[in-house]
Amino acid sequence: MRKETFEFYEFKGRKVLFTPARARYLEEPVPEGLFKYEIRHSDEGFEPCVLAKHILVNHYGTIFSRVPIDLGERGYIDFSEDIDFIDLNQIMTFDEYLSMLEENYDIKEQEMNMKMIR
């Protein structure tokens, strides 16, 4: 069982894990099936403002998502911290995150099947 913990966030409607560290400095390997993105903070302050595959300057942190995030033609997304990057005030491991998403998927699938039966 994995022990390293991460902060649980919502990024543009997707449930993600966040760490202020770069992925290469984590104690555990990132599980297969998770997508990694880095966040850049603004030049004027320390507000997170850009999501990309790799951030070289002003690295704010790293997020992990079960589903890919479309970065568009530019290869990055500008975002607003108070609207697009919401702290859900939970701490969890990779395993807990994957298990929670799997449970939510199973519940949604059951609800869809019930609607089809009706």
pLDDT on residue 47: 95
pLDDT on residue 39: 98
- Average predicted confidence (pLDDT) for the chain: 88
Read off the tokens for 33: 């099936």
30 by Cβ neighbours in 10 Å (0-12 / 13-18 / 19+) ranks as middle
38 within 8 A of 53, measured Cβ to Cβ: yes
The closest alpha carbon to 98, from 69, 64, 68, belongs to: 64
Of residues 105 and 77, more confidently modeled? 77
Separation CA 29–CA 101 (nearest Å): 19
45 within 8 A of 88, measured Cβ to Cβ: no
pLDDT on residue 94: 95
pTM: predicted TM-score of the whole model, two decimal places: 0.84
| Domain edges within the chain | 6-117
pLDDT on residue 1: 53
What pLDDT, in 10s, does the model give residues 12-63? 999 999 999 999 899 889 999 999 999 999 998 899 999 999 999 999 999 9
* Across 93-115, average pLDDT: 70
88: pLDDT strictly greater than 50: yes
Q: How confident is the model at residue 83 (pLDDT cuts 50, 70, 90)?
A: very high
